[in-house]
């Protein structure tokens, strides 16, 4: 693969955001342990000081293949599709979002969603955010 589109890091996250989230109950319903949790008012950044505006329950996994069929992404989406009832119950506590994080030192990044992945996303029925960070170096 050429440098064009190379990704340094790709991650998938399931986020639950709300007020006074029952973290343990969410974990039990989803049968997942969060990678981390945040409570409203927690310090997120020191300079400038940024405090969390809400509670967050976050489950994150690294992705392994941004250009082909990512077995990690396919696996977690298949698992979430089997838990749509649990996802619906968690929605009573707050907003649910799926997020893809992409980070690279290159100016252009590519992450390919194949039709199978898109079908899982439609079946799960949650919004998908794509967050990218590129330092913009071009070395072609």
| Sign of the alpha-carbon torsion through 26, 18, 57, 85 | positive
pLDDT in tens, 66-115: 666 678 888 999 999 999 999 999 999 999 999 998 888 776 777 788 88
Between the alpha carbon of residue 109 and those of residues 63, 66, 115, the distances in Å are 14, 9, 20
Q: CA nearest 125: which of 100, 90, 96? A: 96
Looking at residue 36, the DSSP 8-state letter turns out to be E
> Whole-model pTM?
0.84
Q: Fill in the DSSP letter of residue 67.
A: S
Joined together, the tokens standing for residue 36 give 């981390």
- Ranking 50-54, 65-69, 126-130 by mean pLDDT, the lowest is 65-69
- pLDDT(43) > 80: yes
């Amino acid at each position: 693969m050429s440098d064009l589109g190379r990704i340094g890091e790709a991650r998938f996250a399931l986020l639950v955001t709300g007020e006074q989230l029952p973290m343990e109950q969410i974990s039990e319903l989803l049968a997942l342990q969060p990678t981390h949790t945040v409570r409203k008012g927690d310090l997120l950044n020191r300079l400038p000081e940024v405090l969390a505006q809400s509670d967050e329950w976050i489950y994150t996994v690294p992705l392994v293949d941004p250009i082909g069929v990512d077995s990690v992404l396919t696996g977690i989406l298949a698992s979430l599709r089997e838990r749509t009832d649990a996802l619906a119950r968690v929605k009573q506590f707050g907003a649910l979002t799926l997020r893809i994080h992409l980070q690279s030192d290159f100016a252009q990044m590519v992450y390919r969603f194949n039709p199978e992945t898109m079908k899982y996303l439609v079946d799960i029925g949650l919004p998908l955010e794509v967050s990218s960070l590129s330092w913009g170096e071009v070395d072609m």
